[in-house]
Amino acid sequence: MTSPVWHPFFQHGLEEAIPLVSRAEGALLHLADGGTLIDGISSWWVTTHGHCHPRIAAAIAAQAGQLDQLVFAGYTHEPAEQVARGLIDLAPHSTDCDPLAHVFFSDSGSTAVEVALKMALGYWHNRALDGLADPRHRILVLQHSYHGDTIGAMSVGERGVYNAAWTPLLFDVGTIPFPYHGQEKETLDALETACAQNPAAFIVEPLILGAGGMLIYSPAVLQEMAAICARHDVLFIVDEVMTGWGRTGTLFSCEQAGVVPDIMAVAKGITGGAIPLAATLATSRIFDAHRSTDRSRLFYHSSSYTANAIACAAAVANLAIWREEDVLGRIATLSKGMAERLAQLGEDPAFTNPRQLGVIAAIDLIAADAGYLSDLGPRLRAFFLEQGILLRPLGNTIYLMPPYCLDVDQLDRIFAALSKAGDIFG
Ligand code: PLP
């Protein structure tokens, strides 16, 4: 029987295997046909502590029987209040910067980014209404970025074959070149020049660009980017959707640069990956620009499921895990195991450019036809599936983003499959 399901980022017509997954625990997916897969990418970078974590599952079950969903426009519930307070406590802090003090909920990384962009433009709009500033509209972005697939999020992401059909819907942005090693000065000079034109905001993925190819840059560059924005009063937005929740070795990536943004988007691991939730954090100056008796200033944004109580309860459980368990210790151990094996794989002539940040490891397969439109990615996916591993290479870039509970045996099996892929496809 053919399925009516239309899959995301999946080439119907080219790819065939669509495994039916019936159960999951830790880093393992159990297939309906009795097989298993090791989840090498935390099911799209979200299941940080592993699948079906008992504390998160229990919190969801309890909340589902108590309060499921509540209109959030002017009503609230304890799980949302607890998550908001927890996020503010855990968010990056610095004595030199205004703290992130307000939390707006949404339900995916893309919507958290949309909210961030709307907050930034709303801030300048309302400041202009008060006669305190000229309106500012332009957004600066980093080359090769990915911020999601809704219209605004696509607008601030890299343009290419994957969004060409929707060009008429996308707004114009200023693109700053990526700070490749040795080219950091060009990036910072370009940002300084662009900031002098009074844009509204600059949005970045801190320290590593994910879907753009697992491209890493230094904390010093991130710090300098933040300083340039501060000098020109350009709002600094960090997208911690992928990098947050320990993925880069610290709870949030911008901690490594000592940077506190004006606006920060988080999602994915906020619930430990069990259920959709996202949040956009902002400083008081952003919030205060929308706080007014004048009805034209309110933040006109919502969605039906804003701060869904079941999702918030899952996030409360995730925050408790972070507070009470040695998650960073687990991450450090896994990161070390990945580094040792990646160094070995880097010796294999089939591969080049091994790189790692926290528990993200990537390496490029040397292959003749490796572009985005080549079928190398789908063929690699099918190969890994046969090996019992869930991986989704980006073209010729093979990356791992495993759940933090991955054990040594599972890690060895993944690296054995990578090595085999080098023999076959390299
Ligand atoms: N921002 C970044 C940096 C991401 O990596 C992603 C997704 O991978 C998103 C935003 C979009 O998140 P979502 O897929 O939850 O909409």
Q: What is the pLDDT of residue 16?
A: 81
Ligand 1 center from residue 245 Cα (angstroms): 13
DSSP state of 123: H
Kindly state if the Cβ of 205 falls inside 6 Å of ligand 1. yes
Domain(s) of CATH 3.90.1150.10: residues in the chain: 21-53+326-425
Question: Is the C-alpha dihedral spanning 18, 19, 20, 25 positive or negative?
Answer: negative
**Is 147's C-beta closer than 6 angstroms to any atom of ligand 1?**
yes
Pairwise CA distance, residues 216 & 207, whole Å = 6
Q: Kindly report the backbone phi and psi dihedral angles of residue 192, in degrees, each rounded to the nearest multiple of 5, phi listed first.
A: -60, -45
Helices 54-64/309-324 angle, 10° precision: 150
Kindly indicate the confidence band of residue 370, based on its pLDDT and cuts at 50, 70 and 90: confident
Does 257 score more than 80 pLDDT? yes
Atom from ligand 1 closest to the CA of residue 278: 15
Round to whole Å and give the CA distance between 333 and 411. Answer: 12
Query: Above 80 in pLDDT, residue 1?
Result: no
Q: Give pLDDT, residue 122.
A: 97
Residue ID of nearest Cα to ligand 1 atom 12: 109
Please report the atom of ligand 1 found closest to the CA of residue 209.
3
CATH architecture type of domain 21-53+326-425: Alpha-Beta Complex (3.90)
Measured CA to CA, the distance from residue 28 to residue 387 in angstroms comes to 13
The segment(s) of the chain belonging to CATH 3.40.640.10 are 67-324
Q: Compute the distance from residue 203 Cα to the ligand 1 centre, in Å.
A: 13
241 C-beta closer than 6 A to ligand 1: yes
Cα of 263 vs centre of ligand 1, distance in Å, is 16
CATH of domain 67-324: 3.40.640.10
* Residue 22 scores a pLDDT above 90: yes
Residue 237 CB less than 6 A away from ligand 1: no
| DSSP secondary structure of 189-225 | HHHHHHHTT--SEEEE-SSEETTTT-EE--HHHHHHH
- Residue 327 Cβ inside 6 Å of ligand 1? The answer reads no
Please indicate whether residue 110, judged by its CB atom, sits closer than 6 Å to ligand 1: yes
pLDDT at 100: 98
Among protein residues, the one whose CA lies closest to atom 2 of ligand 1: 147
The count of C-alpha atoms lying within 13 angstroms of the C-alpha of 304, restricted to the half-sphere facing its C-beta, is: 1
| The pLDDT value given to residue 52 | 98
Q: What is the pLDDT of residue 97?
A: 85
Residue with CA closest to ligand 1 atom 13: 109
Residues 316-336: tens digit of each pLDDT: 999 999 999 999 999 999 999
> pLDDT digits over 229-250, tens only?
999 999 999 999 999 999 999 9
